[in-house]
Structure 1
Amino acid sequence: MDFNSVIGVVIALIAVFGGQVLEGGHPGSLLQLTAFTVVLGGTLGAVLLQSPVRQFVLGMKMSRWVFVPPLLDATALVEHIAAWSTTARKEGLLALDPHIAGIDDPFVKKGLQLVVDGTEPRELKRVLEVEIETFDDLHRQGARVWEAAGGYAPTIGILGAVMGLIQVMENLADPAHLGAGIAVAFVATIYGVGLANLAFLPIANKLKSLIARQVLMREMLVDGLVGIANGENPRLISGRLKGYVV
C-alpha cells in the first residue's frame, strides 16, 4: 500500500471541504449529483471516444498502482544478478538453469533463459530491449487515458456550468428554481477542475513515474545479464549495477 497516495487524497479532500466550511458554507453544497453526472459522464465519453478499448482497459487496470504499486526492489535484483554471475563464473552458464524455475517475473525469466541458452550478448541485448520498448510504449498509452481525462474534465465542467446558467435564464421569472441552477453551474466547474487537478492528472503522472522506474529496472537487468553472458567479473557487474539504484 502506498500511504503517500492515501495521505494525498485525504489532504486534498480536507482542503476542499475544509475551505468551504471556513468560508461559511456547508460541505453538502459541494455535493451535486447533476453536476457530477455531467462532468464524470462527459469526461468518460470523451476518453472512450479517443481511446481504443485495449488502451482504456489497461489504463483502468493500471489505476490500482496508485495505491498498490508494483514491487520494485532494485537492491534485491542486484543481489540476484550478482549471485547468478558468481554461479556462472564458477560453474558455467548451464548452472543457472535451476534458478529459472523459481522466477515469477516473465521478463526476468526470459532473460535468464536466453543467457542459459548461450545467446550471443549483442543479440541478447537486442531481444530484451525490444521488449522493454514495447512495455514502455504500451503502458504509457494506459497512463495517457488518465492524462486525457485530466484535459477534458475542466472543459466538461464549463459545459456543465453553461447548462446550469441556461436553466437559470429559463427560470428568471421563478426565483424558487434559480438556486438549483446556479448551484449546478458553479459546482460543475469545481468538479471539472477539481477532478482534473486532484485526481486525473496526478494519477497519470504517478503512473508514468512508476513505468519509468520499471523500465529502469529492466535496463539494469539487461546490463547485468549481458555482463554474465560476456563472462565479466561478478564484482564488476555488481558495482556497475549499483549505479542504477537510487
Structure 2
Amino acid sequence: MDLATIIGVVLSFGLVVSAIMMGSSLFVFVSIPSALIVLGGTLGATLIHYPLSNILGVLGVVKNAFFTKLANPSDTIAQFLEYAGRARKEGILSLEPLLKEIDDDYLRKAMQLTVDGVEPQVIQEIMQTEVAYLQERHETGADIFAAMGMYAPALGMIGTVIGLVQMLQSMDDPAAIGPAMAVALITTFYGAVLANLVFNPLSGKLKTRSKEEVLLRELTLEGILSISRGENPRIIEEKLNGFLPPKMRTKME
C-alpha cells in the first residue's frame, strides 16, 4: 500500500472536514441535487469522452495509486549481477531452473526468451512492445482522471447556474431562496473538491507510477540484453547503475 497516497487522502479530506465543522454542521454541506449534478454529470461526460471498455479498465489501473509496490531497483541490479555471474560460469542454460522463482512476469518472459537462445535484437523488440502498451494503458487511465478533473468543476458551475435560475424564479417566496442558493453554491464546492482532491491528484500519481514502472522495465531489459550478449558482470553493473541516482547505485563486491 502506498503510504503517501493514504496520508494525502486522510490529510486533505480530514482538514477540509475539520474546517467545515469549526464553523457549522457537516450536514449543511450535504446536498443530494448537487451530488447528482456533479457526480452524474461528470460520469456522463466521461462516458461520452471515452469508450466503456476504457472506463471499466481504469478500475484496474487506479489500484496502482494505492497498492502497487515496485521492486527496489538496487535489488534488481544485484539480482542481475547474480544471474550474469552464473551465466558466465555455467552457461546461459543454468538460468532456466531460476525461472520458476521469478515473480515478475516481465522479467520471467525476458529471461525465458534468453534461455531459449533468442537473438538479443528480437528480445528487445518483443519486450519494448510490452513496455509501449504498458505506457499506453497507464496513460489512458491517467487521462481519464484528468478529464474527470476538468469536467467536475465545469459541472459545478452548471449546478450553480441551475441554482441561480431556481432562486430568481422564486424571489417572491423567501422560503425557496435558501435551498436554491444552497444548490448553487454547494455544486461548485463539490466540483472543486472532487477535481482538486481526487481526480487530478490520482491522475498525477498514476503518471508518476507509470514512469517508475517503465524505468524499472527499461533497467530489466538492459540487464537481460547484457546477459544474452554474455557481457562481463562489471560492465553490466555500470550499465544498470546508470539508470539510478548516485545514492542508490550498488557496487559489486
Indicate whether the TM-score tops 0.5. yes
Find the counterpart in structure 2 of residue 12 from structure 1: 12
Alpha-carbon distance in 1 for matches of 2:149, 2:183 = 20
* 1:140 matches 2:139: yes
Find the counterpart in structure 2 of residue 175 from structure 1: 174
Find the counterpart in structure 1 of residue 60 from structure 2: 61
1:108 counterpart letter in structure 2? L
The CA deviation at 1:21 is 4.3
The CA deviation at 1:16 is 2.1
RMSD of aligned Cα (Å):
1.5
CA contact (8 A) 2:2 2:69 kept: no
Find the counterpart in structure 2 of residue 2 from structure 1: 2
Find the counterpart in structure 1 of residue 250 from structure 2: none
Find the counterpart in structure 2 of residue 73 from structure 1: 72
Unaligned runs of 5+ in 1: none
Equivalences, count: 245
Give a deviation string over 1:81-111, Cα, whole Å, max 9, x none: 1111111101111111111122222211110
Runs of 4+ more than 4 Å apart: none
Find the counterpart in structure 1 of residue 243 from structure 2: 244
CA contact (8 A) 1:153 1:193 kept: yes
1:8 counterpart letter in structure 2? G
Give a deviation string over 1:34-83, Cα, whole Å, max 9, x none: 21121011101111111122221221222222221233322221122111
CA contact (8 A) 1:58 1:139 kept: no
The CA deviation at 1:128 is 1.1
Alignment TM-score, normalising by the size of structure 2: 0.91
The CA deviation at 1:120 is 1.5
Find the counterpart in structure 2 of residue 162 from structure 1: 161
Identity of aligned residues (%): 36
Give a deviation string over 1:166-219, Cα, whole Å, max 9, x none: 221221111111111111110100111111011100000100110111100000
Give a deviation string over 1:217-243, Cα, whole Å, max 9, x none: 000001001110111111221232123
Matches within 5 A, 1:95-244: 95-244=94-243
2:188 counterpart letter in structure 1? T
1:141 counterpart letter in structure 2? T
Alignment TM-score, normalising by the size of structure 1: 0.94
CA contact (8 A) 2:110 2:127 kept: yes
Alpha-carbon distance in 2 for matches of 1:67, 1:110 = 26
2:167 counterpart letter in structure 1? V
Find the counterpart in structure 2 of residue 85 from structure 1: 84
Find the counterpart in structure 1 of residue 40 from structure 2: 41
Alpha-carbon distance in 2 for matches of 1:137, 1:72 = 21
SS in 2 for 1:108: helix
CA contact (8 A) 1:72 1:214 kept: no
CA contact (8 A) 2:153 2:195 kept: yes
